[in-house]
Amino acid sequence: MSPSPSPVEVAVIGGGPAGLIAAEVLGRAGLSVTVYDQMPSVGRKLLMAGRGGLNLTHSEEFERFAARYAGARPQLEPLIEAFSPEDLRAWCEGLGQETFVGSSGRVFPKAFKASPLLRAWLRRLEALNVRFALRHRWQGWDEDARLVFTGAAGEPVEAKPDATILALGGASWPRLGSDGTWVGLLAQRGIAIRPLRPTNMGFTLPWSEFMRRHEGEPLKRIALAFEGTTVRGEAIVTADGIEGGAVYALSARLRDAIEREGSALLHIDLRPDLSHGALLKKLETPRKGQSASTFLRKSAGLSPVGIALLREASPALPVEPEALARLIKAVPLRLTGTKSLERAISTAGGVPFTEIDEHLMLRRMPGVFVAGEMLDWEAPTGGYLLQATFATGIAAARGVLAHLQIPDAALTLEPSSATRQT
């Protein structure tokens, strides 16, 4: 009687969403999968992202959705078509976590937080016999192409899997595990790496002492404009600059302009709900002895931080209503720098698509695949980050199966009636 063939072994390095979904696809195909992560537990950045509500994906029509990936759209679009926003919602519901579409079109689990989803997901992975090697820091490969780790007790650990998926994330929030140390390990193997840069981050500018007193205060219901693009939302004044959802939406353009020119001129409309003419009519009402702050609060509906922002841009506020209306509708802010990569929501740069094939396998290293934020792409917040992370994780796992000539056991992706009706 001939011995049973040894099970095919795959190493997934990185326990974030890309690594975990890759492990699920491989586990369903019957492979022996080990997920290595340097942290004591997996999914830490996912849990952090879900503290204010886990934004899984977005419900907008696909053409507009795909355009959010800008220069990386040609590479990411077919991967997202293969695992679409509807597929992600169906997968989530398959874990017992129903989803809903918020007023902004963003998609969330009904539990809102990430922890119930992650717990259910880990139970599923356990049922698929996926193993976890935690507190294992990856050190690269040895001369015999074995994976080398430093184990939990500092001991050397080696592995020689049949294939490897690298899903180590970018370099934002390094205390959660994604510290970018993989850059040097791949560079040693001749893999080209585009410099890691912050994206979806805040910006710095030299506030006056007066403006710094408003640190932490929100600018609500505003519109930001830069290079012909306008975004509505909110922002927050920080001690050394500005951040928030509306800022993040323009962050790539603003960052590139600062790198190119040394600064970027952003304009803030403090009353985007009012036309210039409607605002002008309000400002033409008699002041009746009111202070400038009281007049702006009562006539233009500006908040104290909004009024402070006007004074920051123009210490001597215009008296003439037309000039004052123009300033309120386009307060100039000269941004001089970006917040650090460690404080960014996500990372741009990484492994360029020219270094991988259509299955996300490194051309220079057959059998080694790359997924998630390690790849050179960026997208705004709003569900686009997680969607592409999941899609690339699945694509890498299916690439492993194709490379090893193993049939793909597809995820159960049929949306429930509740999902279709939402």
Q: Let me know if residue 397 belongs to a domain.
A: yes
Domain end (from 282, 307, 338): 338
Q: Residue 86 is encoded by which pair of tokens?
A: 């509807």
Is the Cα torsion angle 204, 205, 206, 211 positive or negative in sign? negative
Cα end-to-end span (Å), the chain: 56
Residue-wise pLDDT for 356-398, tens only, equals 999 999 999 999 999 999 999 999 999 999 999 999 999 999 9
113 is in which domain, residue-wise? Answer: 9-198+340-421
Is the domain of 399 the same as that of 273? no
Is the domain of 253 the same as that of 394? no
Q: Let me know if residue 385 belongs to a domain.
A: yes
CA-closest candidate to residue 322, choices 281, 293, 266: 281
Q: Let me know if residue 1 belongs to a domain.
A: no
pLDDT in 10s for each residue of the chain, 422 residues: 444 467 899 999 999 999 999 999 999 999 999 999 999 999 999 999 878 899 999 999 999 999 999 999 999 999 999 999 999 999 999 999 999 999 999 999 999 999 999 999 999 999 999 999 999 999 999 999 999 999 999 999 999 999 999 999 999 989 999 999 999 999 999 999 999 999 999 999 999 999 999 999 999 999 999 999 999 999 999 999 999 999 999 999 999 999 999 999 999 999 999 999 999 999 999 988 899 999 999 999 999 999 999 999 999 999 999 999 999 999 999 999 999 999 899 999 999 999 999 999 999 999 999 999 999 999 999 999 999 999 999 999 999 999 999 987 766 544 333 333 33
List strands edge to edge, sheet with 264-269.
331-335, 264-269, 218-226, 229-238, 241-243, 203-204, 337-338
Is the domain of 234 the same as that of 219? yes
Is the domain of 334 the same as that of 365? no
Domain end (from 338, 362, 379): 338
Per the document, the length of the chain is 422
Is the domain of 74 the same as that of 191? yes
Is the domain of 13 the same as that of 79? yes
Give the single-character DSSP code of 176. G
Is the domain of 262 the same as that of 391? no
Q: Is the pTM of this model over 0.85?
A: yes
Is the domain of 63 the same as that of 98? yes
Q: Residue 368 is encoded by which pair of tokens?
A: 């080694």
Indicate which CATH number applies to the domain containing 407. Answer: 3.50.50.60
Is the domain of 298 the same as that of 398? no
Q: Residue 34 is encoded by which pair of tokens?
A: 């080990």
Q: Let me know if residue 228 belongs to a domain.
A: yes
CA distance 279 to 306: 15
Q: What is the pLDDT of residue 3?
A: 47
Domain end (from 338, 362, 386): 338
Is the domain of 211 the same as that of 272? yes
